[in-house]
Amino acid sequence: MTQTGSRVGSATVTFAGSGDAFGSGGRLQACILLRADDQPPVLLDCGATSLVALKRRAIDPNLVAAVFVSHMHVDHFGGVPPLILDGQFSRRTAPLTVIGPAGAERRLAAAMEVIFPGSSAVHRRFAVNVVELEPGATPRLIDGVTVQGWPVDHGIHGGPFLGLRLAIGGAIIGYTGDTAWTDTLLDIAAGADLFIAESYYWDKQVSYHLRHADLLAHRDQLGGVRTILTHMSDDMLSHCTRGPIRARLRRSQRDRVKGPGERYRQGEDHRLVVDRVADEWAGHAVTAAAAAAEFCADDCDDLDARLA
């Protein structure tokens, strides 16, 4: 991480889930755990499979203090009702904050009633507090994280849709959520230590989603910010496991890349892989893209990025 001014400390980013809505590549849906020293972890998006993602990694969901939701689609928000119910059944006492776009409180209640009828108004030992973000408004400090929501372009139904910029533990993290390219992403990524970007398709034109081609087209404007791609479709993944990205990754990692089906060890190795890719791709917007894509077999969701 580039440390400037008063930005000190560190944050750990764990991609417990990094997939799209449809299970492409066998990946779990968006579930990005952010941890800073001396404060409870928070989630950046919480797709429907998030309890599986957390428990696979032996992370107690009841430790999650807050969930920052980019938008109210199932692969970004559908895990919130089960998270609340799991907390209820496991005697959670710590409050949970859900931060999302306008309408989040109403839609959370509606989703709980659809999925678990009668659950939205039940008495619990812990409070669920919903904070609705005004797009573009002044950053807010919530549960130790400073967050700002930005309007993005993800369709005409079910919005508003947000890109998010968070400051946690001295690190700044930009997150596109789901969106077609919009210059708002430049604001979200500006000076960030890590830019987490949707890369749904390689170069096929799809409405309201971001493509690898869009990121490449704007890489100079993005200024070489360290970028990790998520939300990849089968089409995008096919370009990552063979073809030019894989070839470049092989060169950049001096054959440390394992072949399809081979597993990386947990922990430090992952971070080394990511860091080396980031270093050697400096100046390119899509730095750690290939590293993310490499974890696409059984380990697909095990990509940690330590920002320190």
CA 46 → CA 23, 55, 73, 193, 291, distances in Å?
Answer: 15, 13, 10, 22, 22
Rounded to a whole number of angstroms, the minimum distance from the CB of residue 73 to Zn ion is 4
Query: Which residue in the set 75, 153, 193, 302 belongs to the binding site for Zn ion (CB under 5 A)?
Result: 75
Rounded to a whole number of angstroms, the minimum distance from the CB of residue 75 to Zn ion is 4
Residue 153 interacts with Zn ion (CB under 5 A): yes or no: no
Query: Which residue in the set 27, 73, 212, 246 belongs to the binding site for Zn ion (CB under 5 A)?
Result: 73
Q: Are strands 227-230 and 194-198 parallel, antiparallel or unpaired?
A: parallel
Q: Which is nearer to Zn ion, 171 or 180 (by Cβ)?
A: 180
Q: Which is nearer to Zn ion, 30 or 257 (by Cβ)?
A: 30
Q: Which is nearer to Zn ion, 178 or 294 (by Cβ)?
A: 178
Please tell me the distance from the alpha carbon of residue 11 to that of residue 60, in angstroms, as a whole number: 18
Q: Which is nearer to Zn ion, 233 or 252 (by Cβ)?
A: 233
User: Is 290 exposed, middle or buried, given 0-12, 13-18 or 19+ CB atoms closer than 10 A?
Assistant: buried
Query: Which residue in the set 143, 153, 178, 193 belongs to the binding site for Zn ion (CB under 5 A)?
Result: 178
Please tell me the distance from the alpha carbon of residue 74 to that of residue 53, in angstroms, as a whole number: 15
Q: Do 181 and 17 meet the contact criterion of CB atoms below 8 Å apart? A: no
Q: Which stretch in 37-45, 114-122, 172-180, 275-283 sits in contact with Zn ion by CB under 5 A?
A: 172-180
Q: Which of 145, 132, 19 is nearest to 74 (CA)?
A: 19
For binding to Zn ion (CB under 5 A), which residues are involved? Answer: 73, 75, 178
